[in-house]
Amino acid sequence: MSQELRAIVRVGDTDLEGNKQVAYALAKIRGIGIASAYAICWKLGIDPHAVLGALPEEQINKLDWAVRNLHEVAPAWFLNRRKDPETGRDMHLIGSELVLAAKRDVDLMKKLKSWKGIRHSLGLKVRGQRTVTTGRLGAVAGVTKKKATPGK
């Protein structure tokens, strides 16, 4: 049976290259890493080394559902947003949802004026790294040589 290879496959609101293996193509979705991609393939019974563009439409629909509903497929410790502060639910965010959630979290820290929020607002390191020599901002003037005055 000769099946055509689709060049672009849409999964999880992301265009994926159809000529790549399923696991590596899924890993291009923001919020899905290579471990998550292999876990999704294993759970659905799809060969992770098969070419994504050659999969039948029903398997691509299964992949799309699993990527969007990873909280139903994977255990709680596997998800990227556990015990969401707003809802208290375990979720797995992908794409722009993940970026917006991270931005909202930082904005909340700034609003509450927590230590991490203050560090974020000042543009300093947040996680306890040293700042004596690294993380310096702005251009350095350096040492400049005096202009030579014309001799007498």
Do residues 70 and 29 both lie within one domain? yes
Distances in Å between the Cα of 107 and the Cα atoms of 30, 48, 118, 124 are 21, 38, 10, 15
Judge whether 39 lies within some domain. Answer: yes
**Per-residue confidence band for 151, with pLDDT thresholds at 50, 70 and 90:** confident
Residue 56 DSSP SS3: coil
Judge whether 134 lies within some domain. Answer: no
| Residue from 17, 15, 62 nearest 5 by CA | 17
Distances in Å between the Cα of 125 and the Cα atoms of 38, 98, 114, 118, 130 are 34, 22, 14, 10, 8
Judge whether 20 lies within some domain. Answer: yes
Do residues 65 and 89 both lie within one domain? no
Judge whether 64 lies within some domain. Answer: yes
Do residues 68 and 99 both lie within one domain? no
> What pTM does this model have?
0.76
**Per-residue confidence band for 152, with pLDDT thresholds at 50, 70 and 90:** low
Q: Domain of 19: which CATH number?
A: 1.10.8.50
Do residues 30 and 68 both lie within one domain? yes
Do residues 48 and 65 both lie within one domain? yes
Domain count, the chain: 2
Domain of 57?
Answer: 8-77
Do residues 21 and 39 both lie within one domain? yes
Residue 36 has a pLDDT of: 92
Do residues 23 and 60 both lie within one domain? yes
The Cβ of residue 102 has, within 10 Å, a number of other Cβ atoms equal to 12
| Residue from 69, 72, 71, 97 nearest 82 by CA | 71
Locate tokens 């098969």: which residue? 50
User: What does the mean pLDDT of the chain come to?
Assistant: 89
